[in-house]
Amino acid sequence: MKKKEVPQDEGLNEGRFEDVCYALDENGNYVAVLSTGWNPKTDALLQAWEVIDEQVELTRQRVLSGELSPIAYYMEKNLMDLKLLSDYVGIPKRKIRKHLKPDRFKKLDEETLIRYAETFRISMEVLRDSSEILKDK
Q: What is the pLDDT of residue 11?
A: 72
Residues 47 and 33 in one domain: no
Residues 24 and 83 in one domain: no
Residues 33 and 71 in one domain: no
pLDDT tens digits, one per residue of 64-86:
999 999 999 999 999 999 999 99
Q: What is the pLDDT of residue 134?
A: 66
Buried residues in 63-94 as b, exposed as e (16+ CB within 10 A): bbeeebbbbbbbbbbeebeeeebbebbebeee
Give the CA count within 13 Å in the CB-facing half-sphere of 59: 21
Q: What is the pLDDT of residue 101?
A: 97
pLDDT tens digits, one per residue of 109-133:
999 999 999 999 999 999 998 766 7
Residues 45 and 33 in one domain: no
Of all residues in the chain, what percent are helix, strand and coil, respectively (each to 5)? 55, 10, 35
Contacts of 78-82 with C-beta under 8 Å, sequence gap 24+, read 78/120, 79/52
Residues 26 and 82 in one domain: no
Residues 71 and 131 in one domain: yes
Reported as a pLDDT band with limits 50, 70 and 90, residue 63 is very high
Neighbours of 105 (CB within 10 A): 22
**Mean pLDDT of the chain, nearest integer:** 91
- DSSP character string of 34-56: EESB-HHHHHHHHHHHHHHHHHH
Residues 28 and 61 in one domain: no
User: How many domains does the structure of the chain reveal?
Assistant: 2
Residues 31 and 86 in one domain: no
Percent of the chain at pLDDT > 70 equals 94
pLDDT tens digits, one per residue of 4-43:
888 888 777 676 778 898 999 999 999 999 888 888 888 8
Q: Which helix (H) or strand (E) holds 33?
A: strand 30-35
Percent of the chain at pLDDT > 90 equals 68
Global pTM reads: 0.78
Residues 33 and 57 in one domain: no
- DSSP character string of 75-98: HHHTT--HHHHHHHHT--HHHHHH
Residues 32 and 45 in one domain: no
**Residues of the domain holding 128:** 41-135
